[in-house]
């Protein structure tokens, strides 16, 4: 065998076998047969020019030369694994999950981050699920009560908004002439805002949506008036797409929070992403 052809598979088989000192257990971990393990060990022994194990009734023993070689091979293989894992992680995208209702707030921040830090790659997955679980993601924005150990990005506060092309009402009771756009399949968000102002309104015309983002989009197109989180519509108001006719906003008790993977399991740049999103 050419000395240039380092048998890496055989070295790994040796390391596993040396740990177990048992061909059956080594074969099980390597997912190959005992015979295949023996052949790999024989290949390495041939390459080295000396025996690595001696057989005994109770299993395998390392030879003197095998025992001397083992620590250096373990260290070298660990360095190889660490180097490849580091290189792999450096090119890996940060897996971020977020509810669709947060897109109006989140997407502009991700675009700005990409412009300033093109070396940070974020793979965004949207969901209708508001559950406070990371699942297989590196970070997740969740909506609802602030989970323990999470970062509160902002608390939800509701206020009515409508298209800037619409003549805004000057009094709350004037809202009754509009079509009410509901961010959910019920009217709880509107009722929460009205209760916060100790007001009541007849709602003759109603449209219900699956998410707040859809209700906001409908309001921008002039379909009616919706209640929306003041932070989510901040850019739309500043850019003149929406107007908020009343200064009053009502806290719902819910918040948008950020969960992140533990530091030891986190990909590179996750702390930078977390810091960027936390600067509300």
H, E, C per residue of 188-202:
HHHHHHHHHCCCCCC
What does the alpha-carbon distance between residue 128 and residue 67 come to, in Å, rounded to a whole number? 57
DSSP class of 83: H
Identify the pLDDT of residue 7. Answer: 87
Identify the pLDDT of residue 216. Answer: 95
Per the CB < 8 A criterion, the answer to whether 27 and 47 are in contact is no
Locate tokens 């997955």: which residue? 125
Identify the pLDDT of residue 82. Answer: 75
What does the alpha-carbon distance between residue 5 and residue 12 come to, in Å, rounded to a whole number? 15
What does the alpha-carbon distance between residue 131 and residue 197 come to, in Å, rounded to a whole number? 30
pLDDT lower than 50: segments of the chain: 1-2
The per-residue pLDDT for range 59-77, each reduced to its tens digit, is: 789 999 989 999 999 898 8
Locate tokens 């079509």: which residue? 179
Identify the pLDDT of residue 277. Answer: 94
Q: What is the pTM assigned to this prediction?
A: 0.65
Per the CB < 8 A criterion, the answer to whether 117 and 194 are in contact is no
């Amino acid at each position: 065998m050419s000395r240039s052809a380092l048998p890496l598979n055989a070295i790994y088989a040796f390391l596993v076998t040396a740990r177990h000192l048992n061909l059956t257990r080594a074969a099980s971990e390597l997912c190959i047969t005992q015979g295949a393990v023996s052949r790999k060990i024989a290949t390495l022994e041939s390459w080295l020019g000396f025996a690595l194990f001696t057989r005994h009734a109770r299993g395998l023993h390392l030879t003197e030369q095998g025992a001397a070689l083992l620590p250096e091979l373990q260290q070298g293989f660990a360095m190889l694994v660490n180097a490849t894992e580091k290189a792999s992680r450096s090119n890996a995208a940060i897996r971020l999950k977020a509810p669709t209702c947060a897109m109006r707030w989140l997407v502009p921040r991700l675009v700005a981050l990409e412009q300033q830090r093109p070396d940070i790659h974020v793979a965004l997955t949207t969901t209708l699920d508001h559950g406070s679980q990371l699942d297989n993601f590196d970070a997740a924005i969740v909506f609802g009560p602030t989970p323990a150990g999470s970062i509160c990005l902002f608390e939800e506060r509701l206020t009515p908004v409508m298209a800037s092309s619409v003549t805004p009402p000057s009094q709350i009771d004037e809202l009754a002439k509009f079509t009410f756009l509901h961010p959910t399949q019920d009217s709880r968000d509107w009722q929460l805002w009205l209760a916060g102002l100790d007001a009541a309104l007849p709602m003759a015309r109603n449209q219900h949506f699956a998410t707040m983002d859809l209700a906001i989009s409908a309001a921008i197109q002039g379909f009616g008036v919706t209640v929306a989180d003041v932070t989510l519509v901040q850019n739309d108001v500043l850019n003149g797409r929406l107007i908020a006719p009343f200064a009053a906003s009502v806290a719902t008790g819910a918040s948008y929070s950020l969960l992140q993977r533990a530091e030891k399991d986190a990909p590179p740049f996750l702390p930078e992403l977390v810091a960027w999103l936390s600067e509300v």
